[in-house]
Structure 1
Amino acid sequence: MIDLAGAMLKEPYGPLGDERYRGCLAEIKASGEAMLERVGKLLDLAAVEAGSLHLEPRALDLNDVVADCVARLQGEAARGRIVMRTSFSTDIGDLEADERSVSRAASLVIENAIRRSVAGSQIIVSTGSAERAAIAVRVRGTSAGHAPPAEAPRGDVEDGLALPRALVEANGGRLQLSARPEDGTLVEIIMPTHRAANG
């Protein structure tokens, strides 16, 4: 469906005619891509919950992992006219975890923040220490101007965090969400340090 709609939009056999046909095809293509992405996430979530996710824990520099995620998603934020800022702590401990799953969890949380933001909003991605020998990735979304953000219902926000939450928990960490009108939405990925992970 996605490939066929994309092919028709290129008009290889001649013009589509009325411009409304092009709009309909673009909508079909976008809906198909969104459905494919959602099914993919559900399959990944099922794999994590079934215990079939293969983890390769090793020492990681969390700042480097998160910086790579931000770099990959800067373009998407810019297209939506959303400002993405970073603040990385230089005194956090080493993290022992599976790089691929931690990176994917952080990317999904940032993507979720971008998709729920409007033009002129700001997203702050930071790292720092957390309680009990843990370190954290924090993603805070704030609204444009000084008006309170129009937050999505908490259940909708949580729905977008199901897969990253499962990926974080598979690595021995946890994900928590807090939302206040004056501060925006804050999602924290909290992971044990290398020392805590090894007792």
Structure 2
Amino acid sequence: MKASAVLDRSIRYEETLSSAVRLAVPRIADYAALALPADDGSLTWAAATHCNPDKAPLVGRMPGHGTQSESVVATARGRPRLIRNLDRETLYGLVADDTHRDMLAALELTSLIVLPLSVAGRDLGSLVLGTTRESARMFTERDVVIAGGFGRRVAAAVHRALLLRDAENAARARERIVGLVSHDLRNPLSTIMLAVDFLLDEVLTDDSAHRNEREHIETIRRAARRMDRLVGDLLDVTAIEAGGLRLEPTTLPAQVIVSDAVDLLSPLAAERKITVVADVGTPLPALAADRERLLQVFSNLGGNAIKFTPEGGQVVIAARAGERCVEFVVRDTGPGIAAGDLPCIFLPFWQQRATRRAGVGLGLAICRAIVEAHGGAIGATSELGVGTTFTFTIPTSDGRDRSAAAGA
């Protein structure tokens, strides 16, 4: 029971390996070692322990020392193996590597149990258990049965730890790739946008003679700005998943934030012949918030509302005072979202199946992360053919101060 509890708590790879061999000695064996597959398919000693503290320097040299395909850990062939009498002749027949063989001989092992470790068809290596001359005990078939139960728990724990390690390595690799790609994209994008601005402001005058050229250049500018937003979204999602989303909160008037949001969205809405309306209840308390991040939320929510609202429709930006918070609403008259899709809309990279692809599905996930980082909450309601309403709360400066004091 204790072994199961300890192994269940072990999720870090190195911690799990160390726990596995320490739990085996001296309860089950006098010596325990794990031999795990390396990237090239060979077996490597990953962790080991011995009941005699004087053997610690020798045992400490075992991890990282590669084994050979003919070694003792390869003899189990998918099933437990008992070696009742590990004399020098048997040891020399089992181990081809001279250095490894000399190490095992110095440990004074007298019998061995080799347990192959696997979960769901994945080969995880072997657990090697041994008795020593000092203890005068020798393994029997009964010990193989007992050790087999322990080996299955070790295999499950190692498998869990490997899955976590693989996931963490994949996440770190993705973060590095996203960071490098985003940086490499940002530089040429900046060059493109500077060149476009120069052409529109300094070269192509705004008249009928240059109308076609300016329209083409404007198309390039819109595409470059959209790509720049996508790069920014990728960087934000990477920071969010790494727990590194930074806020710079200040005291902000809620009315001003709504006014800024309307100003931000109005040019895009005008292009699509959509009306943006502010609906602010007064008076509103001040917020403790990061202004730029809040405008990012409004840009994402309002941008989606404008994108999916048909020509002649309306988008409302509303705000009401709540309990120690301000409740903001972004409401549109678009096609709506199916009830079955609502639970998924804040997941990264999720997109509604019934709509055209108009992004990579990161905007709402970023909105949720920003709102929750402020200590607020976000949700949505929708009715097909009527429209969608997004509601989120941001603590007031007074409410945030009280929350901080309560947590102190």
Structure 2 vs 1, CA of residues 101 and 34 (structure 1 numbering), >3 Å: closer, same or farther? closer
Q: Distance in 2 between matches of 1:156 and 1:178?
A: 16
Of 161, 164, 171, 2:367 maps to 164
> Offset at 1:139?
0.4
Any idea what the Cα deviations from partners look like across 1:72-105, whole Å, max 9, x if unmatched? 2211101101111111111222211222212221
Task: Give the equivalent residue in structure 1 for 2:387.
Answer: 184
Any idea what the Cα deviations from partners look like across 1:149-173, whole Å, max 9, x if unmatched? 3647655367531112111111111
Task: Give the equivalent residue in structure 2 for 1:198.
Answer: 401
Any idea what the Cα deviations from partners look like across 1:40-83, whole Å, max 9, x if unmatched? 21211222332333322221111101211211221110110111
Checking the alignment, whether the CA contact within 8 Å between 1:48 and 1:170 is kept in structure 2 is no
The answer to which of 155-164 and 182-191 deviates more is: 155-164
Task: Give the equivalent residue in structure 1 for 2:297.
Answer: 105
Return structure 1 stretches of 4+ with deviation > 3 angstroms. Answer: 25-36, 150-155, 157-160
Task: Give the equivalent residue in structure 1 for 2:267.
Answer: 75
Counting only pairs closer than 5 Å after superposition, residues 7-156 of structure 1 correspond to structure 2 as 34-130=226-322, 132-143=323-334, 149=335, 151=337, 155-156=350-351
- Structure 1 unaligned residues grouped into runs of 5+: 11-24, 144-148
Q: Secondary structure at the match of 1:161?
A: helix
Structure 2 vs 1, CA of residues 30 and 55 (structure 1 numbering), >3 Å: closer, same or farther? closer
Checking the alignment, whether the CA contact within 8 Å between 1:179 and 1:186 is kept in structure 2 is yes
* Identical-residue share of aligned pairs (%): 30
Structure 2 vs 1, CA of residues 196 and 33 (structure 1 numbering), >3 Å: closer, same or farther? closer
Q: Secondary structure at the match of 2:245?
A: coil
Q: Secondary structure at the match of 1:156?
A: coil
Q: TM-score, length-normalised on structure 1? A: 0.74
CA radius of gyration, larger in: 2
Q: Distance in 1 between matches of 2:268 and 2:374?
A: 28
Task: Give the equivalent residue in structure 1 for 2:169.
Answer: none
Checking the alignment, whether the CA contact within 8 Å between 2:251 and 2:287 is kept in structure 1 is yes
Q: Distance in 2 between matches of 1:32 and 1:72?
A: 18
Q: Distance in 1 between matches of 2:293 and 2:336?
A: 31
Q: Distance in 2 between matches of 1:110 and 1:65?
A: 13
Q: Distance in 2 between matches of 1:33 and 1:56?
A: 25
Task: Give the equivalent residue in structure 2 for 1:13.
Answer: none
Q: Distance in 2 between matches of 1:107 and 1:26?
A: 21
Structure 2 vs 1, CA of residues 80 and 198 (structure 1 numbering), >3 Å: closer, same or farther? same
Q: CA RMSD in A?
A: 3.3
Q: Distance in 2 between matches of 1:186 and 1:102?
A: 17
Checking the alignment, whether the CA contact within 8 Å between 1:49 and 1:166 is kept in structure 2 is no
**Aligned residues, how many?**
181
Structure 2 vs 1, CA of residues 118 and 90 (structure 1 numbering), >3 Å: closer, same or farther? same
**Structure 2: which amino acid aligns with 1:164?**
C
Q: Distance in 1 between matches of 2:286 and 2:386?
A: 29
- Structure 2 unaligned residues grouped into runs of 5+: 1-187, 201-216, 353-360, 403-408
Q: TM-score, length-normalised on structure 2? A: 0.39
Checking the alignment, whether the CA contact within 8 Å between 2:336 and 2:385 is kept in structure 1 is no
Q: Distance in 1 between matches of 2:221 and 2:317?
A: 31
